[in-house]
Amino acid sequence: MHPVSPGTPRADAARIAELEEIARRMRVDIIEMLEKAGSGHPGGSLSAIDMVTALYFQVLRHDPKNPARPDRDRFVLSKGHGVPAVYACMAEAGYVSREELATLRKLGSRLQGHPVTSFVLAPGVEACTGSLGQGLSVAQGMALASKLDGDAFRVYCMLGDGEMQEGQVWEALMSAPKFRLDNLVAILDYNKAQIDGFTRDVMDLEPLEEKLCAFNWHVVRIDGHDIGAFLRAIEEAHGTKGKPTFVIADTVKGKGVSFMEGQVGWHGVAPKREEAQRAIEELKG
């Protein structure tokens, strides 16, 4: 069923090294895509890509040859502006061709600036997102449907830290434990920066672990660039019964490109040709 992903978080060191290598190539694809598009969000795509890669090629049960099969795992990218990370993995998995990546944000492309589920179906574009704060509710609905169908599949939702400021996120944080959705995993790409500045200055989320525990989630905190740690967190989520799991993943905005790392200014600006070349040289080492 799953030619591109074993569909389990259990991976040995050799496999983790393979995933790290895929993530490195995905970073190159993200930079190339954004440079060609001339706009987009490199910072939040690069902070998310290690976890998106691990989901796509290790955790999720999915089949690019049969993208609509009802028992596939669902992945909702609530931080829709990070979608270049998903598109890179879609091409690697065979949902779209590598050539199609060059059409990102162009007229007539299936690869819209933010996820559009009716244009192309794949993990990460399971729902339209981009107005922040909506994805966790949609993921919750999918998890409820899965429960009605006898736990047919699992649901993963990745959020950005800025969007945790939206009230609707806290509605969903309140409701998912009520429905005992142990088939739902929320993942926070906590890169600490948003458009207007650092998250702690714009509207601080802390103390976050305490808040999420108080909302009755099972909470795990990891380094979001450590694929092994991420996979162990997902395995822990699978073993947690009766409540949903929230993975707080500390990440670095623009991770992997020295001049983008930790820089608020690289939230929503595409690299120019020369910048892209420098970034790719770094990534190719």
For residues 143 and 249, which CB has a smaller minimum distance to other proteins in the complex? Answer: 143
For residues 107 and 148, which CB has a smaller minimum distance to other proteins in the complex? Answer: 148
- Beta-sheet strand order (sheet of 218-223): 74-77, 155-160, 184-190, 245-250, 218-223
Q: Output the smallest distance, CB 158 to other proteins, in A.
A: 15
Cα-based distances in Å from 261 to 45, 74, 132: 12, 30, 23
Q: Output the smallest distance, CB 175 to other proteins, in A.
A: 6
For residues 16 and 172, which CB has a smaller minimum distance to other proteins in the complex? Answer: 172
Q: Look at residues 181, 177, 185 and name the one whose alpha carbon lies nearest to residue 235.
A: 185
The distance of Cα 169 from the centroid of its chain, to the nearest Å, equals 16
Q: Which value, to the nearest 10 degrees, does the dihedral of the CA atoms of residues 206, 208, 211, 217 take? A: 170
Q: Output the smallest distance, CB 122 to other proteins, in A.
A: 13
Q: Output the smallest distance, CB 263 to other proteins, in A.
A: 29
The number of C-alpha atoms within 13 Å of 254 and in the hemisphere containing its C-beta is 22
Cα-based distances in Å from 20 to 12, 227, 251: 12, 7, 15
Q: Which string of DSSP letters, residue by residue, matches 89-113? A: HHHHHTSS-TGGGGGTTSTT-SS-S
Cα-based distances in Å from 224 to 136, 168, 190, 234: 19, 24, 8, 12
Interacting residue ranges for other proteins, rule: CB under 8 A: 70, 74, 76, 116-118, 126-131, 134-146, 148, 167-168, 171-172, 174-175, 179
Extract the tokens encoding 147.
Answer: 């429960």
Q: Output the smallest distance, CB 136 to other proteins, in A.
A: 8
For residues 183 and 194, which CB has a smaller minimum distance to other proteins in the complex? Answer: 183
For residues 13 and 68, which CB has a smaller minimum distance to other proteins in the complex? Answer: 68
For residues 147 and 232, which CB has a smaller minimum distance to other proteins in the complex? Answer: 147
Q: Output the smallest distance, CB 126 to other proteins, in A.
A: 7
Q: β-strand 193-194 against 197-198: which pairing, if any?
A: antiparallel
